[in-house]
Amino acid sequence: MFPKTRLRRLRQNRAFRDLVAETDVSPRDLIYPVFVSEGHRQELCSLPGQYRESLASLPAVASRALDAGVPAILLFGIPRTRDEFASGAYDADGIVQRAVRAVKKEHEDLLVFTDVCMCQYQASGHCGVLREGRILNDASLPILSRIAVSHACAGADAVAPSDMMDGRVGAIREALDGAGHAMTPIISYAAKYASSFYGPFRDICSSAPVTGDRSTYQMDARNAVEALREVELDIAEGADIVMVKPALSYLDIICRVKARVDVPVMAYNVSGEYALIKAGAAAGVLDEDAAVREVLTSIRRAGADLIATYFALTYAEGL
């Protein structure tokens, strides 16, 4: 064929490259994860450039997201105290419930999603009920359901269970419907892997398990077929959007899930993935903006419709 076929013809200038680009990352595809506590606003050492927001500083973050064209935030609460029952997670005046109300009161148009889990609220740091060294699956479901309902009552636009207990999507769907929240979608962390890339998040939320690890409930990195079962089960139980997490070491999973299901697929570009780029940029060995563009593009190219990323605001504002 050569020299009839020259693939460089369509790469010769920016206009051609843009014309034939197969993938783009628009702010409307992004979800911005936000940490909130009852204390003061503070920059996070383990996630440079990100903050632990206060109830007072949160509305400004919401308006920044709206201005940048980012349609949604995903809230994580950092409670003052924890107990054996994770009661702070479903308290009507808990940190997340108050945060949701604070945002919705001022910015009704911003979508507010909430992480539904027990690990930040439970003394054990585990995502399910711990009894005698075991995580009890079925005993965790009513608590997770109660958390989800309390978030919906506070005004959350969608709930995102991240605990990886079996059957929780079905239990939460039933509880939401029973409490008059039939229109609240469930964004399921369907294929959530036991990953070292959650390190900065656990540091920020002090949510590392006190004993053991999460390998009896989060997925094993060696498995891909199992991720398809997780996703299909969650959809059968009523998940509206399914998530793969983390993103970068699991692009193959995103790709396989996208090929298999017909609900929107979300990927979570997690804290450790953010921290790596920040560290590379701080060391002077990476161009941060270019690296962020490349990473977000790769996640979209793999098949993610939506991306939760700590880069959401800076990326959208840089366009």
**Rounded to the nearest whole angstrom, what is the least distance from the CB of residue 198 to ligand PBG in the complex?**
4
According to DSSP, residue 7 is labeled G
**Rounded to the nearest whole angstrom, what is the least distance from the CB of residue 268 to ligand PBG in the complex?**
6
Distance CA 6, CA 141 (A): 58
Q: Closer to ligand PBG at the Cβ: 107 or 310?
A: 310
Q: Closer to ligand PBG at the Cβ: 78 or 107?
A: 78
Q: Which of 104, 245, 258, 278 is catalytic?
A: 245
Residues 174-203 that bind ligand PBG (CB under 6 A): 198, 201-202
**Rounded to the nearest whole angstrom, what is the least distance from the CB of residue 201 to ligand PBG in the complex?**
3
Q: Closer to ligand PBG at the Cβ: 107 or 214?
A: 214
Q: Closer to ligand PBG at the Cβ: 155 or 199?
A: 199
Per the CB < 8 A criterion, the answer to whether 250 and 174 are in contact is: no
Q: Closer to ligand PBG at the Cβ: 161 or 170?
A: 161
Q: Closer to ligand PBG at the Cβ: 140 or 207?
A: 207
Comparing CA positions, the residue from 54, 39, 154 lying closest to residue 101 is: 154
Which string of DSSP letters, residue by residue, matches 198-232? Answer: GHHHHHHHT-S-SSS-STTTSBPTT-SHHHHHHHH
Query: Does 115 contact ligand PBG by CB under 6 A?
Result: yes
Q: Which residues pair with 43 in a beta bridge?
A: 51
Residues 117-146 that bind ligand PBG (CB under 6 A): 117, 119, 127
Q: Is 245 a catalytic residue?
A: yes
**Rounded to the nearest whole angstrom, what is the least distance from the CB of residue 228 to ligand PBG in the complex?**
21
User: Could you tell me how far CA 272 lies from the centroid of its own chain?
Assistant: 13
**Rounded to the nearest whole angstrom, what is the least distance from the CB of residue 162 to ligand PBG in the complex?**
4
Distance CA 174, CA 171 (A): 5
Query: Does 309 contact ligand PBG by CB under 6 A?
Result: no
Query: Does 90 contact ligand PBG by CB under 6 A?
Result: no
Number of residues that bind ligand PBG (CB under 6 A): 11
Q: Which residues contact 297 (CB under 8 A, 6 or more apart)?
A: 23, 24, 25
**Rounded to the nearest whole angstrom, what is the least distance from the CB of residue 35 to ligand PBG in the complex?**
10
Determine which residue in the list 73, 159, 239, 270 makes contact with ligand PBG, applying CB under 6 A: 270
Q: Which residues contact 13 (CB under 8 A, 6 or more apart)?
A: none
Distance CA 302, CA 255 (A): 5
Q: Is 192 a catalytic residue?
A: yes
Q: Which residues contact 262 (CB under 8 A, 6 or more apart)?
A: none
Q: Where are the alpha helices (DSSP H) in 40-116?
A: 58-68, 95-106
Determine which residue in the list 271, 295, 304, 306 makes contact with ligand PBG, applying CB under 6 A: 271
Distance CA 32, CA 65 (A): 8
Catalytic residues: 192, 245
Residues that bind ligand PBG (CB under 6 A): 115, 117, 119, 127, 162, 198, 201-202, 207, 270-271
